[in-house]
Amino acid sequence: MRQLAEKDIIEQLRRCGLRATGQRLAILRALREDTSHPSAEEIFRRLSGSFPTLSLSTVYKTLQTLAAMGVLTTIDNGTGKQRFEGQPDPHHHAVCNYCGRVIDIDFSLFPIPTPRDKMIPGFTVQSVKVYFNGVCRDCHGKKG
């Protein structure tokens, strides 16, 4: 998956009406560099050492704003904890039913075209998300 350049991240923040503060850049950069689909709490823990004034509230607000603007997406892995996806390239997800782990699946393995407007009258499809539910390698031997 491609990584965005720093100037592209700054531009994305500005398009969302947000100033490109060091904290916001770090939050978005952390998502772009992490394929584990972290929660807001995990991002906060990862960044709080470098940004002592960073609050969990700031992380939540930034993530929610960026998700609403389409810069990143949210993932429900069935654990009740919202996870965040920062990878911009199209891909699917495999979700472990036991531990909630989310694994990226290359879109080219299961290409799905976006439905045309006439397929769902009066509804414009903006994206298609596919989740494969099952058991990850780590949990395979643990399942009872």
Same-domain pairing of 106 and 59? no
Give the number of domains in the chain: 2
Is residue 62, in this structure, part of any structural domain at all? yes
Residue 51 has pLDDT above 90, yes or no: yes
Residue 76 has pLDDT above 80, yes or no: no
Q: With bands split at pLDDT 50, 70 and 90, how would you rate the model's confidence at 4?
A: low
Q: With bands split at pLDDT 50, 70 and 90, how would you rate the model's confidence at 52?
A: very high
CATH of the domain at 112: 3.30.1490
What confidence score (pLDDT) does residue 2 get?
Answer: 44
Could you tell me if 86 and 34 are in contact, meaning their C-beta atoms sit under 8 angstroms apart?
A: yes
Is residue 49, in this structure, part of any structural domain at all? yes
| Percentage of the chain modeled with pLDDT above 70 | 92
As a whole number, mean pLDDT of residues 77-85 equals 80
DSSP track, 9-64: HHHHHHHTT----HHHHHHHHHHHH--S--BHHHHHHHHHTT-TT--HHHHHHHHH
CATH of the domain at 29: 1.10.10.10
What's the pTM value of the predicted model, to 2 decimals?
0.75
